[in-house]
Amino acid sequence: MNFINSGQFFKLVLVLELFFHPTLSAESALPSSPIVIQTSDCFVRFQTPLAGQTTDNAFIRALSWANTVQDVTSTIQDFSNIGGNNAQLWRAGNLLTWMYAGYMSCSSIPMIPQDGLNLPQTAVTIILPSGVAKLQIIGPDISELDQTTLRAVRGIFGLQGTLLPVDYAYCTGASIKGAIIDWQVEVGRRFSQPPDFDASTTLHTPSDGYFLAVRGDGVAVHMVMDGLVT
């Protein structure tokens, strides 16, 4: 069986990004040398486009964030967004988040994934470490949430602060799935057994564990998927 190398994988994922994000050009997306960032150092939000909406429209570009504790609490209490006024909430880019969105699973960590967040066209917005440093995390009022809800929404939070466009990066569900499949194939080749994710597992090499995101200024960023739960 043949495996694609890191250069081929970079080009493959870039093609996917340009397909789903047509406003970017190939020349502007390709950096002179790769920028490598750990997803666990970032914040992540998944948004599957609504009917009539494109993936590009579903990316988050807001520069000012002013969520309150009540915003976060009321959004968690109404995940179906019946009133249409829910706040846009985030998660850290760790293993629990990939499990929450349905991209990964772990036999030792029970998690019921949220439906519809791992589709090929899902818009994945990433706040890079430069942006994380500028923001304050806003959690819910736990006194207003029952234990079942608290377990279900562990790790979800709102934000306060101001960002620049370059503090964001964007990709699609297709890119993340491709990186995970590539990693699974490589692990299977190395160990001849189905892969699983645990606290000792880190996706850390260009050939078997990164996906490509496009920064707000059009520069490509290699996002390394950290399998450690933080």
Determine which of 64-73, 82-91, 166-175 has the lowest per-residue pLDDT on average: 82-91
Radius of gyration of the chain (CA): 17
Q: Minimal CA–CA distance to 29: which of 219, 223, 222?
A: 219
Q: What is the average per-residue pLDDT within 60-79? A: 93
Where residue 34 falls among pLDDT bands split at 50, 70, 90? confident
Average pLDDT of span 129-137: 98
pLDDT interval class at 7 (50, 70, 90)? very low
3-state secondary structure of 173: helix
pTM (two decimals): 0.79
**With 50 as the cut, is the pLDDT of residue 20 above it?**
no
> Per-residue pLDDT tens for 182-213?
777 766 666 655 555 544 444 444 444 678 89
The number of helix segments (H) and strand segments (E) in the chain equals 8, 10
Closest CA to 224 of 183, 172, 165, 189: 183
Whether residue 147 has pLDDT greater than 70: yes
pLDDT at 171 over 50: yes
pLDDT at 11 over 90: no
Give me the chain's average pLDDT, please.
78
pLDDT (mean) for 116-131: 96
pLDDT for position 78: 81
The residue among 216, 112, 214 whose CA lies nearest residue 172 is 214
Strand partners, 65: 161
